[in-house]
Chains A and B, each alone.
Chain A
Amino acid sequence: MNVKEYISSGIIESYVLGLASPEERVEFERMCDSYPEIREARDAFELSFEKNALSNAIEPPAHLKNEIFAKLHSEGNNKQTDNSYKKENVVAPVVAMGWLRYVAAASIVLLITSTLLNYYFFTQYKEYSAKYDQLVQNQTQMASANQTLQTKLQDYESALSMIKDPAMAVVKMPSIPKGPNPNSLTTVYWDTKSKDVYLMVNNLPQPTSDKQYQLWALVDGKPVDAGVFDVSKDSLSFVKMKNIPRAQAFAITLEKKGGSPTPDMSALYVLGKVS
């Protein structure tokens, strides 16, 4: 093809203005590589077009430069991480800005509102959760207090029924004359049917931790072990002792912890005869 003809065919203008088809572009670029004069003609048209465009420039709004450069700046900071991903998204977001702007603004308002509500509800939740925990704790405390009372009541009831029982022999055991503690007093409730022995401590001094009181039944002048016991603070509680089929009297001595086979008569506290 004649180069001069090619130059004046309009292809240069068509190429520069972006009106050439892809095939025409490829061909034109090849022609430019082969014929410097085509390239020169292209340069000349580009330059005259550029001059015309520059002399017809319209100043964009002043605020735009800062906005654009803020964008470019954040682009620059992101470019190492996901450049390829960004290239895909070049056109759509900007084009759609007209109405998307309002959607974006609305969604930000919604997000803020939702965040505030979330915070509010979370605070409320925490407050009620704490209150609920407190209530559960109170309830547990009351339930256990109630149980303690119930147990006590049952103790009292069974004590009372035992005292009321006509088959029950009551043996009062006051302090022996010149005993270790003159205020000592205990009571044995002896079931004459079952021969079970229950001991109530009315008043006995608290022994040291290495010692324990021991109840003895005096059978035909001989002491028979009826068991050791601790002194409870609750004076109304009964301690079930060993079963004693026959006895004329009961006595309590202070022995070493666990009890002794024979009583230490020097530590005799109380004594009561069966009437």
Chain B
Amino acid sequence: MDITPTYNEQELIAALKTKDEQSYSYLYDNYSGALYSIIKQIVLDGELANDVLQEVFINIWRKIESYDATKGRLFTWMLNIARNASIDTIRSKSFQNSQKNQELSNNVNVNSSISNQTILPDIDNIGLRKTLETLKGEHRILIELAYFKGYTHEEIAKIEGIPLGTVKTRIRNALLQLREYLK
């Protein structure tokens, strides 16, 4: 019977960099849920979320050498890998096509995918999305577009039809509210 070791962050990073499988097992047991949660909040589909989580762990394994602890915590680094992979997935052609088919078959005229997501209350009630509920509507949409859809400030300005300066200010205010909430 293996005794699963516990690691502090430095020990864990060192073990991960040696590609020690036990340390990846520990990583998975402790962080896969948090990463899976973020992935699900972005891709909104269980099957896809499984694929993305697999991709994320493979990427962590492959890219661990490039992780630099001076630039942030390990979890922050992994979370950004998860977020980027999720956004890549929802932007991929096959995903877009499947979304189109869904919309057609449901015969629902959905202009904004944001209103589409309110159909999924379980997703709305987890993690960052739950936090977003506390934000004002105008802030909420911008964080939604920036964080969960991965749009740049310029793209958001175009989509929402508001000046770039306003986008930046609103996002900054939203982020500061978020910080207060998380404290």
Residue numbers of A with Cβ under 8 A of B are 8-10, 12-19, 21, 29, 32-33, 42-43, 45-54, 56-61, 64-65, 67-69, 71-73, 75-76, 79, 83, 86-87, 90-91, 94-99
Contacts and interface: CB of A to CB of B under 8 A. Distances in A.
Interface string B141-183: 0000011000011000000000000000001110110110011
Contact of A46 (B46, B75, B84): B75
17 contacts: A10-B176, A19-B146, A47-B73, A51-B182, A54-B33, A56-B130, A57-B33, A57-B37, A58-B126, A64-B32, A69-B21, A69-B24, A76-B19, A94-B85, A95-B89, A96-B94, A99-B94
A15 B178 CA distance: 14
A65 B59 contact: no
Contacts of B89: 95
Interface residues of B, number: 64
A94 B171 contact: no
Contact of B175 (A10, A76, A99): A10
Nearest to B47: A98
A56 B176 contact: no
Nearest to A25: B71
Nearest to A76: B19
B115 to A, nearest CB: 23
Contacts of B19: 76, 79
Nearest to B130: A56
A54 B37 CA distance: 9
Contacts of A43: 73
A60 B73 contact: no
Contact of A53 (B38, B49, B58, B173): B38
Q: Would you call the interface of chain A mostly helix, strand, loop, or mixed?
A: helix
A18 B38 CA distance: 13
Given A46-B75, A46-B76, A72-B24, A90 B33 contact: no
Nearest to A10: B172
B79 A53 contact: yes
Nearest to B122: A58
Contact of A45 (B61, B153, B171, B182): B182
